[in-house]
Chains A and B, each alone.
Chain A
């Protein structure tokens, strides 16, 4: 049984490899989704796990993977920023903004930092956001992973999202 740290490390390196490789090839008509990367990582790691019982469930894995995924993306953007020295190049365009007729932008690193701040004051909320954004888990699954009621998850999600939104503004 691997320690949680080594599991995270393993998942992280897997995801990093996957993300990097994806960036080198953009299949026609296909888009990168962090969720898909997490799936892929699961298929690789779970499918070839030499020993049983390294994670209790898929949900447990996704929770670990979500953390790793966030790290991967943050590091990626940081690296690229260092290379290009153009901070604006990394802003994410939110498709939601289109509905409003304008463009709003989110900075991946700012999000990463906000999450880190959040985890200091309320780690459960930070984890919840991770699971939702980077692990692609549904509210119901998050409720299972965190052992909470769905109503609590919904409420915490509202708070977390609003708080992070306010930090990023």
Chain B
């Protein structure tokens, strides 16, 4: 059931990215281009997604525990530290340059655009290298089994 839930959630998520236009890097860049060909559509994506998720999480949390797992696994980090400032600053440069964030890039893979294939390969390499570097740097709190991936919220 957990596999089926994950598969269906992924499919609905991907369809949401396609229908919303978020899967189109040019549209994303136009949203970010306030002083050029500005397209405010993505504000509607974000607003609707956050609102529905907010309500959906209230319904989920009211149950006390998930339907098919032992417990909710939520990010535990609260502190505004170096990582949550530097990381998003770096991410934003890549997002602006390409118009791709991780979800739309993965969803676009079967469309086989060359730019997408190169982007995803580089992104996965960057993720793996950073994970290994964090482990080598001894940041074990971030990569400890059980706690590690809970910290990784997105």
Instruction: Tell whether A pairs with B.
Output: no
